[in-house]
Structure 1
Amino acid sequence: MRKLKVMRTVAAMALAVGAMTAAGAGQAQAAPQADSYGCPSGYVCMYPGAGWNNNTPTHKYYRYGTYNLSNVVGTYRIYNNQTGGATMRTCTGYNGTGCQGHLPAGWYIDKNMTPINSITLQA
């Protein structure tokens, strides 16, 4: 139990300190849930603006790997509804280069996506 608390603290500190700079910090969810905020279980979803867009994500990603982004500018809410402790990262370069921070499963963050050109999903 103590090891789990330490791991959560380290993950939270990495998110706060580690380069996932955004207008607002993510809030923890108890655990990823099926179809939470319109985002299916196992997915990373993005919503335009700093809100849930009426539970309607504009982007959904499921498979581990790198996704290059096109015409994604301004603030987006990114919600990691993956399972099994999977994380996601934002990257300033295409093909997963210049990646920043780790967004743990069950967390979200409001982030300026203008300088972001790709995201990665990993176990």
Structure 2
Amino acid sequence: MNARTKFGFLVASGTLALGLAASVAAPAAMASTTDTQGCPSGAVCIYPQDAGWNGGHPSNVYYAYGAHNLSNQNGNHYVFNNQTGGATMRTCTGYNGNGCQGYLQAGTYMVKDLTPINSITLQP
């Protein structure tokens, strides 16, 4: 498998060591029907800078659709979309959801330099 290995497949196959999840390159698929890595089902979570999954303790949790401005989010962070029903998330260089790029699909995560990112959006 390549660097975008599906986390759910690894868990199902029983080959995932506890520390491996932090080293899997993103984006990668993860099961998202329950709390995963401390991120509640239905939420988008951002984990502290350079902390991987931070022991299942995200620093920011977002539930509501729409734009969410970020502050003091610099460097690389895990960003996990644990929303359900196919909801997506975008990162945006401007505040209030302006200058958005790409889509992070439900059940996936990415490692992203949030230094130039000033907001995220959650959409159904």
TM-score using structure 2 length = 0.77
Is 1:57–2:58 an aligned residue pair?
Answer: yes
Q: How far apart in 2 are the matches of 1:50 and 1:111?
A: 12
Q: How far apart in 1 are the matches of 2:108 and 2:51?
A: 14
Q: How far apart in 1 are the matches of 2:82 and 2:96?
A: 22
Aligned to 1:28: 29
Structure number with greater CO (CA < 8 Å, separation at least 6) is 1
Q: How far apart in 2 are the matches of 1:117 and 1:85?
A: 24
Deviation at 1:50, TM superposition (A): 5.6
Deviation at 1:35, TM superposition (A): 1.1
Q: Is the 8 A contact 1:81 1:105 kept in 2?
A: yes
Q: How far apart in 1 are the matches of 2:105 and 2:114?
A: 18
* SS of equivalent to 1:41: coil
Aligned to 1:40: 40
* SS of equivalent to 1:119: strand
Point out the structure with the larger helix share. Answer: 1
Of all paired residues, the percent bearing the same amino acid is 63
Q: How far apart in 2 are the matches of 1:33 and 1:26?
A: 18
Aligned to 2:19: none
Q: Is the 8 A contact 1:50 1:110 kept in 2?
A: no
TM-score using structure 1 length = 0.77
1:78-116 per-residue CA deviation (whole Å, 9 max, x = no partner) reads 000000000000000001011010000000000000000
